[in-house]
Amino acid sequence: MTGHIEWFYEIDMSTKRKISFADGRAVMAEGIGKIAIRREDGRKIIISEVLYVPQMKSILLSLGQLLEKGYSVNMKDNHMEVIDNNRNTILKVLVSKNRTFKVGVSALENKCLTAQVDDEVWKWHKRFGHMNFASLNLLQRKNMVLGLPPISEPKKVCGRCCEGKQPRKSYKSSIPTRASLNLEVIHSDVCGPFEIKSHGGNLYFVSFIDDLTKKMWIYFLQRKSEAFGVFKEFKMLVEKQCGNPIKTLRTDGGGEYTSLEFEKFCKDEGIVHDVIAPYTPQHNGTAERRNIILLNMVRCMLREKHLPNEFWVEAMCTTTYILNRCPTKRLETITPEEAWSGFKPSVKHVRIFGSLCYKHVPEHNRRKLDSRSQAMVLVGYHSTGAYKLFDPIQRRVVISNDVVVDETKEWDWTDAVEKEVVETVVVQLDSDQNQDTAEQGGSIQVVGDVEQMMCH
């Protein structure tokens, strides 16, 4: 077994196996395959049925498996010798100081597999809105979501991340208060105006973050003055979901949160409105940091598939969906979505935002010689597990389960034609994701000509 995935020239990642050690520790093997190595004397060796264990720092050879495969193992005069069926010596090593046999080997260059592995890693990096590789690795290693394969950080630099993510000096929050119940403390911040209106005419967004679970909700506004009405809508939604009342609302000193009407509402509802001092975002660090991450990911996602900036709301909804399924420093082994709902989320259906896709056209909506599919653009995920698609011709958003997603292809927004196809990924949603749709069988529900007003 080995933890070096780049050593494999052939691997089956569908094989999972639990490995137990003598000291009681246990690790998971994430795949099985063949590796090609070169000994110190230059000879090449092919080893089959090698387990891929990400935690392993070196390669371990099992003497029992060597014997099962017909090899002879001789130990004499502090030497171990492995002989094949043709009486050829393939290994001969001295015992080390800790009474183990260390074989000096190096991996042969396996460019084909490395390219395939890197391609898959980059694909998940893009699917998660250019999430950093350390977080993706943590997400998979701690089994925080379903459907995510092992992630190793590639050597190349992501150009989209360099373009879209602006580094900023970090700071520590000076507010030590932590919640012990859902909705005990809610962080909120209004961001905007954006330079470009969204399809629905929105210029602002307001974020709400539960301090305990780090679950996030985003609402979109045309004017800052709409924040009060949005908060009342948010309050009604989340209090019915978890059964707890909002106790503290932490915001900045913006006018949208300091009106007499807003203060009276908080007083009547028994909500402590904690207003931070002006120009001290570190006091509301949770909301401030989340907004920075949101905007960084939105920039990367829009640039990845060259979508017009008018899609910033769709990109932000998708980013919110992803971040609620990503690790946070506060939560050790679960995602915000699981902390809030109690269910481990699946990411099997997640695809690169802005990818070209083909939506099945139902038989009753087409004539005999009409095309059976229609080209659209993937712009997000519906709460039922279906995809939200943008129709560039009709300029409307629809929801569909019957979708073929091509992650290597994008819509040409200048010429209104799609670019050349390289490969196609067929997506089959799980039955449990489909069961709550308005109509079964992948039918289409028209959302409207503009984006939704809230996402989580």
Q: What is the pLDDT of residue 28?
A: 82
Q: What is the pLDDT of residues 177-203, one digit of tens each?
A: 678 899 999 999 999 999 999 988 999
Which comes out higher in pLDDT, residue 243 or 278? 243
Average pLDDT, the chain: 78
On whether the CB atoms of residues 425 and 357 are closer than 8 A, the answer is no
Read off the pLDDT band of 6 (50, 70, 90): low
420 pLDDT more than 60: no
Among all chains, which residue has been given the structure tokens 């997506």? 427
Q: What is the pLDDT of residue 441?
A: 35
On whether the CB atoms of residues 206 and 317 are closer than 8 A, the answer is no
Beta-strand ranges (E) seen in 252-303 are: 272-275
Among all chains, which residue has been given the structure tokens 């943008």? 390
Q: Which two tokens stand for residue 77?
A: 């005069």
Give the total residue count for the chain.
Answer: 456
Q: Residue 278 and residue 177: Cα distance in Å, rounded?
A: 19
Q: Calculate ∠ Cα 216-429-338, nearest 5°.
A: 30
Q: Calculate ∠ Cα 308-386-338, nearest 5°.
A: 100
Q: What is the mean pLDDT of residues 325-353?
A: 92
Identify which of 172-176, 250-254, 294-298 has the greatest average pLDDT: 294-298
For the ranges 110-114, 242-246, 348-352, the lowest mean pLDDT is seen at: 110-114
Q: What is the pLDDT of residues 346-400, one digit of tens each?
A: 998 999 999 999 998 777 667 766 677 889 999 999 888 889 999 998 888 999 9
Identify which of 4-8, 61-65, 126-130, 171-175 has the greatest average pLDDT: 126-130
Which comes out higher in pLDDT, residue 107 or 131? 131
Q: Quick count: other Cβ atoms within 10 Å of Cβ 182? A: 21
On whether the CB atoms of residues 358 and 406 are closer than 8 A, the answer is yes
242 pLDDT more than 70: yes
62 pLDDT more than 90: no
On whether the CB atoms of residues 211 and 149 are closer than 8 A, the answer is no
30 pLDDT more than 70: yes
Q: What is the mean pLDDT of residues 416-433?
A: 38
Which comes out higher in pLDDT, residue 328 or 421? 328
Domains with residue ranges and CATH for the chain: 5-109 (2.40.70), 115-347 (3.30.420.10), 355-455 (no CATH)
Reported as type and span, the H/E element at residue 321 is helix 312-323
Identify which of 3-7, 39-43, 306-310 has the greatest average pLDDT: 306-310
Q: What is the pLDDT of residue 183?
A: 95
User: Helix (H, G, I), strand (E, B), or coil: what is residue 451?
Assistant: coil
Q: What is the pLDDT of residues 438-450, one digit of tens each?
A: 333 333 333 444 4
